[in-house]
Amino acid sequence: MRPSLPLLLSSLLFAGVANADDLRERASAIFKPVPDKVTEVRGQTVSDDQAMLGHKLWFDPRLSSSHVISCNTCHNLSIGGSDNVPTSIGHGWQKGPRNSPTVLNAVFNAAQFWDGRAKDLQEQAKGPVQASVEMNSTPERVVATLKSIPEYAAEFKKAFPNDKDPVSFDNMAYALEAFEVSLTTPNSPFDRFLKGEDKALDDKQKKGLALFMDVGCIACHNGVNVGGQSYFPFGVIKKPGADILPAGDKGRFTVTNTADDEYVFRAAPLRNIALTPPYFHSGEVWELEQAVAIMGDSQLGRQLNDDEVSAITAFLHSLTGEQPQVAYPTLPASTATTPKPE
């Protein structure tokens, strides 16, 4: 007699937990550990001077027209690289349209933003600075601000010694990218398991890992970042309600204007997911267990039972790695010619 799916999954789970080597071998074909350090972007070595400049710019609110909002406002490095609110608060107390994704390990994503409209972190860095609902500035204002501060002018010259005019909007974005590549979280329990440490995951997490692979989560969530590589409809099998999938946000359609891309979004990277509620692009789900159950129903057409949801959630907690230790920098002072806040 052909075994039922639950019995088949149970036997697979038992085999996976009983033999850590077999489970590791299966997982290693799908996932890769976060590297200890990233030193290149697009084949170009990131210099220490560029990264140190980007570190200061990351925390500098003067990149915004109000002098209130910095990159760290919406991507707070002390709470998982996001801001733990449904949608971020930007210029003039406006609410953004989507949940702020984490910047931790973002260097491993195939593209940036929920709809993938930025091909890399340099391009991404330019978006929030100019968005009226976020930092509400312009390239001209940013360059004028940076050139008005002698310390910044000197640091740009040091970071980009071959440029005739080193203080530029492009170089600002590249410096931010150079800093962001350092925001990785290696040595999570899952990574240590992949590297051979059997006890890095407990039995429940191993069951969750086996389930994560067996029920099909890996179709969207794979690779180094356990996601962030491809685009999928939200609601492959069944669309969630309008509270979770707002009808007005058509996702990647706004980038491609292709009907097939309506309600298509980049698969969320799941590294450090336990640190970054609320979930989904709408930011309407606060509990990780609920998010897992919704994904099972909407993407896989499977009503996960409580034990399955609990085990997969336990596995997702194992994706939390060592958080980057980033000191708050002392920023150079404004001068009389620095544009005033608006």
Q: Are 113 and 263 in contact (CB under 8 A)?
A: no
Distance in Å from the first CA to the final CA of the chain: 73
Q: Which of 25, 40, 123, 134 is catalytic?
A: 134
Q: Are 167 and 156 in contact (CB under 8 A)?
A: yes
Q: Are 175 and 50 in contact (CB under 8 A)?
A: yes
Q: Are 324 and 37 in contact (CB under 8 A)?
A: no
220 annotated as ligand-binding: yes
| CA distances to 119, 208, 213, 301 from 229, in Å | 11, 22, 17, 22
User: How remote is the C-alpha of 263 from its chain's centroid?
Assistant: 19
Tokens of 186: 């290696």
67 annotated as ligand-binding: no
317 annotated as ligand-binding: no
91 annotated as ligand-binding: yes
Q: Are 173 and 123 in contact (CB under 8 A)?
A: yes
CA–CA separation, 311 vs 212, rounded Å? 9
CA–CA separation, 142 vs 137, rounded Å? 7
217 annotated as ligand-binding: yes
* 9 membership: H or E segment, kind and range: helix 5-18
Burial class (CB in 10 A: 0-12, 13-18, 19+), 57: buried
**Residue 164 one-letter amino acid:** K
Residue owning tokens 């609920």 = 290
Burial class (CB in 10 A: 0-12, 13-18, 19+), 36: exposed
55 annotated as ligand-binding: no
Tokens of 120: 């890399």
Catalytic residue check, 287: no
Q: Are 249 and 98 in contact (CB under 8 A)?
A: yes
74 annotated as ligand-binding: yes
Q: Binding site residues, as ranges?
A: 71, 74-75, 91, 217, 220-221, 295
The residues annotated as belonging to the active site are 134
Give binding residues for heme c as ranges: 71, 74-75, 91, 217, 220-221, 295
